[in-house]
């Protein structure tokens, strides 16, 4: 998407995220089918939050994602957004998302214009209910990555991410179930990078929210 053709994306997205969100459609697009979604969240569910950051680069909008460090945990090595578990001192989940973004990639909350929130996604394998927030930042230069949590960052053009050819089905192995292979819906981007699971569901909802605004003729 060209910035000159859509310079007011932050303002428009802020309004769009106040409307009912297409969570069911996003799940239908990208639900990984590793385990069935429960009708009701368990009482032991843990809260977490992530921040999906949009930024301008080379005349078009990009999305910042991270590749998690391979540490043997449930989401080891996977593509996601900066974020993590809500701490007792966090007054709300937005605070969690902003704090974790600073801790993982070094972006201070004062630099982020928060546009709103996407629908929460329950991650069965780790028992986390993840609240995704969307924010805007002028640039993502001079990041400071947490070596224990972030292996690298991805700067993904929305044009590439939302292109029809980026949708795929592929075989994956979850670190939580290393002996089980599954065929899942996913996004495939440059370098044969696969984005699946909860992150893909969040991206799918963002894509649906933006589709008619940014790409009226897909």
- pLDDT for residue 72: 54
- The domain tally of the chain equals 1
Rg, Å, the chain Cα set: 16
What is the per-residue pLDDT across 115-151, written as a single tens digit (0 to 9) for each?
A: 999 999 998 888 899 999 999 999 999 999 998 999 9
- pLDDT for residue 178: 65
Sign of the alpha-carbon dihedral angle for 149, 124, 157, 184:
positive
pLDDT tens digits for the chain (218 residues)? 555 567 788 998 999 999 999 998 998 898 755 455 667 888 999 999 999 999 999 888 999 999 998 765 655 678 999 999 999 999 999 999 999 999 999 999 999 999 999 999 998 888 899 999 999 999 999 999 998 999 999 999 998 999 999 999 988 876 666 676 778 899 999 878 999 989 999 999 999 998 867 655 44
Domain that holds residue 70: 3-214
Residue written as tokens 């994602």?
65
CATH number at residue 139: 3.90.79.10
Residue 210 contacts residue 26 (beta carbons within 8 Å): no
Q: Which helix (H) or strand (E) holds 173?
A: strand 167-173
- pLDDT for residue 45: 94
Q: Tokens representing 87?
A: 């701490």
Query: How many whole angstroms separate alpha carbon 134 and alpha carbon 50?
Result: 9
Considering all CA atoms of the chain, what is the largest pairwise distance in Å, rounded to the nearest integer? 48
Write the Ramachandran bin of 216: left for phi over 0, alpha for psi from -120 to 50, otherwise beta: alpha
- pLDDT for residue 176: 60
């Amino acid at each position: 998407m060209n910035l000159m053709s859509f310079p007011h994306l932050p303002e428009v997205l802020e309004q769009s995220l106040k409307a009912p969100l297409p969570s069911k459609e996003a799940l239908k697009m990208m639900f990984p089918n590793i385990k069935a979604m429960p009708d009701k969240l368990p009482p032991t569910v843990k809260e977490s939050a992530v921040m999906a950051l949009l930024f301008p680069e080379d005349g078009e909008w990009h999305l910042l994602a991270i590749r998690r460090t391979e540490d043997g945990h449930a989401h080891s090595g996977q593509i996601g957004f900066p974020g993590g578990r809500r701490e007792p001192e966090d007054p709300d989940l937005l605070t969690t998302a902003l704090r974790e973004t600073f801790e993982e990639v070094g972006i201070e909350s004062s630099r982020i214009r928060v546009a709103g929130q996407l629908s929460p996604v329950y991650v069965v394998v780790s028992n986390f209910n993840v609240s995704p927030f969307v924010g805007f930042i002028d640039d993502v230069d001079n990041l400071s990555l947490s070596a224990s949590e972030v292996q690298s960052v991805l700067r993904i053009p929305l044009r590439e991410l939302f292109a029809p050819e980026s949708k795929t089905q592929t075989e994956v192995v979850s670190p939580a179930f290393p002996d089980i292979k599954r065929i899942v819906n996913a996004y495939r981007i440059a370098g044969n990078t696969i984005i699946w699971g909860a992150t893909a569901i969040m991206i799918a909802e963002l894509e649906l929210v933006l589709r008619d605004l940014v790409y009226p003729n897909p």
